[in-house]
Structure 1
Amino acid sequence: MNYWLMKSEPEECSVDDVLAAPDATVPWVGVRNYQARNFMRDGMQVGDGVLFYHSSCAEPGIVAIARVASGAYPDPTQFDPTSPYYDAKSKREEPRWLLVDVQVLKKISNITLPTLRERPELADMLVLKKGNRLSITPVEAPHWKAIVKAK
């Protein structure tokens, strides 16, 4: 089993939006970074653990425990000219962008960046590394356990 941290801007898709969706599951649309896409395509498996992270907001942090609920498949927003995620160079027969479905299992109190930084056992989490802006990052098993145990 693998573990991931997946960032979403709450104005785009919040944990409450996911909880309101059928089966508390949403497609993780809009990823337009090749490394993050490759994590979904090559690394993620159904059942993998997800730390749902609110970004670009007043208090960024981990707000839910979730899981990968599907294998990777083409992100339909890349083909929609009305979508902010439209990619004119992506072809239906060779889609450039993929997504996975994510299911929230448990909403938790926000674990903010300062709180994460206070915990020495989490010091080398990728989300805490200077300059890391990826929307999806792998999480090591000891980090996952430390965060889930605390909640």
Structure 2
Amino acid sequence: MPLRGKKRGRGALPATKEPDSKVAKAETPKKRYASSSAKGMTKVLASEKDKPEGSKKTYSHWLMKSEPESRFEKGVDVKFGIEDLKAQPNQTACWDGVRNYQARNFLKDMKVGQEAFFYHSNCKEPGIAGIVKIVQEAYPDHTQFDKKDPHYDASSTKEKPKWFMVDVQFVRMTKRFIPLAELKVQHQAHKTSGGPLKAMSLFTRQRLSVQPLTDEEFEFVLSLEEQKP
């Protein structure tokens, strides 16, 4: 039986703008660090309706946003930071509450063993806090059927569920917290130089709480943890 974790970051984040932390100088790492994720093929986005136009890419790395600070919806605290995941039995929990079709499709593309950055969002200092891995592939999100849950969807049925979730397990903290402000600097520099982060979804599809990463993007971001901010 999959673990029922606390509420996670949703498909479309609140309209509040994520605050910038202090700006870091853009640097190119002296060497690339290989991904530690399990290899595996992923399928093309499940729904043609929600698939980005012209997109036929498959992915094996991800970025998943969640809120580490308390915020109440219908009386329920949707807070779930990486420390909350670490506190779960077996450091494993379901990633529920996604209510954006494209983010849902990305969840359905995930394969067991793939890795994702755990990204703290909608907080004082947003950024990447650690790494998790997928331990169970997509299955119906129980919160869509719970009338008391803030993510209840009356239009979804158990026969034809709309929303799905995966189970994730804590892998490790990043060697240092990698703030959004630092990633922004790198993104701007790479847009000019053609670097790995030039088209990173964190900036091109900002409101998605579940985002794909290319291998090159994942490896570059991972290499940043070795650098001084």
Report TM bin, short chain: over 0.9
Match of 2:199 in 1: 124
Amino acid at match of 1:55: S
Please state which structure has a larger fraction of its residues in helix: 1
**Which residue does 1:4 correspond to in 2?**
62
Asked if 1:134 corresponds to 2:208, the answer is yes
How many pairs are equivalent? 149
For 1:22 and 1:118, how far apart are their aligned partners in 2? 37
Using the TM superposition, give the Cα deviation of residue 132 of structure 1 relative to its aligned residue in structure 2, in angstroms. 2.0
Deviation for aligned residue 1:149: 2.9
Unaligned runs of 5+ in 1: none
Map Cα deviations across residues 31-65 of structure 1 (whole Å, 9 max, x no partner): 00011111111x11011110110110001111111
Q: Is residue 84 of structure 1 aligned with residue 150 of structure 2?
A: yes
Asked if the contact 2:178–2:224 (Cα under 8 Å) also holds between the matched residues in 1, the reply is no
Which position in structure 1 is the counterpart of 2:47? none
Residue 93 of structure 2 aligns with which residue? 26
Instruction: Give the alignment's TM-score, normalised by structure 1.
Output: 0.93
SS in 1 for 2:177: strand
- Runs of 4+ in structure 1 deviating by more than 4 angstroms, as ranges, are none
Provide the alpha-carbon RMSD of the alignment. Answer: 1.3
Contact in 2 for aligned 1:7/1:136 (Cα 8 Å): yes
Asked if 1:13 corresponds to 2:80, the answer is yes
Do structure 1's residue 145 and structure 2's residue 203 form an aligned pair? no
Q: What is the TM-score normalised by the length of structure 2?
A: 0.62
Measure, in 2, the Cα distance between the counterparts of 1:139 and 1:4: 5
SS in 1 for 2:137: coil
Which sections of structure 2, spanning at least 5 residues, go unmatched?
Answer: 1-39, 41-59, 70-78
Larger radius of gyration: 2
Determine the C-alpha separation between the residues in 2 that align with 1:104 and 1:80: 26
Cα displacement (A) at 1:115: 0.8
Structure number with higher strand proportion: 1
Quick one: percent identity of the two aligned structures? Answer: 44
